[in-house]
Amino acid sequence: MGTSHLPMKNLLRRPGRTAALVLLTALLAASVFGGSVVVGSLRSGLESLQARLGADIIVMPAEAESKVSFKNMLLQGTTGAFYMDASVLDEVRAAQGVEIAAPQTFLASLKADCCAIKVQIIGIDPDADFTVKPWIDESYSQDLGDMEVAVGCNVTAGVGETLKIYEQYTHVVAKLAETGTGLDTAVYCNMDTMKKLLAAAEAKGVSHKITSGSDVISAVYVKVKDGADVGRVNNWLNGHIRKVTAVRARSMFTDVSDSLAGISRAAWALIGAVWALALVILLVTFAMMIHERRREFAVLRLLGVSRRGLRGEILMETALCGLAGALVGVGVAALGVFPFTTLIETKLGLPYLTPAVGALLKLAGGTILATLLVELLAGTWAAARLSRTDPGTTLREGA
């Protein structure tokens, strides 16, 4: 029997009822998609940061933690600088269990006459570096040359442009992929360029407590050998090298992970509560709708629609509402989340990296599917209740 035209007519010719159902469904879809995107972005951000660091241990001057939060430099792009003698690098490399030790040197530029913008400048040793170099390689296949810089994606300078830092002109050769961390606001150069910039900064009277004439570095990133105990290597470095602090990278981000886990739990609890509430509202709404329309359904039975046909009609209406609501919800959530990634990142103070398009599409598809299933569950329940009612009895009641 042909009832396929009825659901669409019913929905279009009852715009108020249809809009209410679509809105309710949209709320479900928006909560799960928006929440998942935010939680997923935080997770991606943390993973990206951990991948970028890639180190087991970070060695820095003892006063570094009191001077500027190293973690904030990485997470939020706070500028800062601290130095130790470059000889620390050799001591670290000599330690038992160390596989690779790569130095980095920091310099904070000033947004003043000297510099185009206020950024953190990070000097790396391309031959040893295993954290930033692979990232630069994704955008720039050559080694950074003299006075050449690679910039994070949030630095307002493009490839081919010139960046003035302490009256020195550097040439931007690469713009790096987004990490969702403070690394996106930094400028990267090799150690030779960094030495020139440090000298220029000193000449401008910017004190970085640099010991003139000696090589300085800010941090050493350590990767331990396979099978070596990271804790033991870390303890050895702290016990044998003077005036430095060795920190396990994992412990540095434990509180970030904890915050992320807390936010994830809260977000999922909220999403769960919204879904539970919406499911109850949907069931009540469908029960009310079926009750309101029971005479119409009895008339359809009278005209020759089978129980199965009636169930099909109800489920088709439900599916159409569910699909429309899910699409609206995903769209609204996308509009509410994607344009405000920077604001969310700033407010949360955590690394935030929007997942790739493919992952987002999967998430959107999953949300639409889950929403449809919930809607169909409510519709099936309502249809089952209806099919237990005799049309003759319903027609008598409403007469």
Partner 1 sequence: MLHAENLSMRYFRKTGQANHFHAVKDVSLALRPGEVALLTGRSGSGKTTLLHMLAGLLTPTEGRVRLDDTDLYALPDAALSRLRNAKLGVIPQGRSAVDTLTVLENVLLPQQLRGEKGDAKGALRWLEALGIANLRDARPAELSGGELRRMAIARALAGNPEVVLADEPTGDLDDENTAAVLSLLRKAAVEEGKTVLLVTHDSEALPYGDRIYRMESGALSAQSEE
> Would you tell me which residues interact with partner 1 (CB under 8 A)?
1-3, 5-6, 9-10, 13-14, 295-296, 299-309, 390-393, 395-396, 398-399
75 within 8 A of 185, measured Cβ to Cβ: no
For 164, the token pair is 């003035």
**In Å, how far from its chain's centre is CA 376?**
32
For 367, the enclosing helix (H) or strand (E) is helix 357-387
We find the least distance from the C-beta atom of residue 291 to partner 1, in angstroms, to be: 15
236 within 8 A of 101, measured Cβ to Cβ: no
We find the least distance from the C-beta atom of residue 319 to partner 1, in angstroms, to be: 18
Report helix, strand and coil shares of the chain as percent, to nearest 5: 60, 15, 25
Distance in angstroms (rounded) separating the CA atoms of residues 176 and 172: 11
Angle at 19 between CA 15 and CA 21, to 5 degrees: 120
Angle at 63 between CA 62 and CA 67, to 5 degrees: 145
Angle at 11 between CA 10 and CA 16, to 5 degrees: 115
Tell me, letter by letter, the H, E, C secondary structure of 198-261: HHHHHHCCCCCCCCCCCCEECEEEEEECCCCCHHHHHHHHHHHCCCEEEEEHHHHCHHHHHHHH
Backbone CA torsion sign across 86, 165, 124, 69: positive
Q: Name which of 9 and 242 has its Cβ closer to partner 1.
A: 9
Q: Name which of 5 and 242 has its Cβ closer to partner 1.
A: 5
Q: Name which of 16 and 239 has its Cβ closer to partner 1.
A: 16
| Rg, Å, the chain Cα set | 30
We find the least distance from the C-beta atom of residue 306 to partner 1, in angstroms, to be: 4
Q: Name which of 217 and 289 has its Cβ closer to partner 1.
A: 289
We find the least distance from the C-beta atom of residue 312 to partner 1, in angstroms, to be: 12
Question: Strands 186-190, 120-124: parallel, antiparallel or unpaired by DSSP?
Answer: parallel
We find the least distance from the C-beta atom of residue 294 to partner 1, in angstroms, to be: 12
Q: Name which of 2 and 160 has its Cβ closer to partner 1.
A: 2
We find the least distance from the C-beta atom of residue 263 to partner 1, in angstroms, to be: 46
Q: Name which of 251 and 306 has its Cβ closer to partner 1.
A: 306
Q: Name which of 3 and 264 has its Cβ closer to partner 1.
A: 3
Distance in angstroms (rounded) separating the CA atoms of residues 309 and 246: 72
We find the least distance from the C-beta atom of residue 380 to partner 1, in angstroms, to be: 18
Q: Name which of 10 and 185 has its Cβ closer to partner 1.
A: 10
Q: Name which of 242 and 388 has its Cβ closer to partner 1.
A: 388
We find the least distance from the C-beta atom of residue 287 to partner 1, in angstroms, to be: 19
Residues 6+ apart with CB under 8 A from 324: 22, 25
We find the least distance from the C-beta atom of residue 139 to partner 1, in angstroms, to be: 58
106 within 8 A of 121, measured Cβ to Cβ: yes
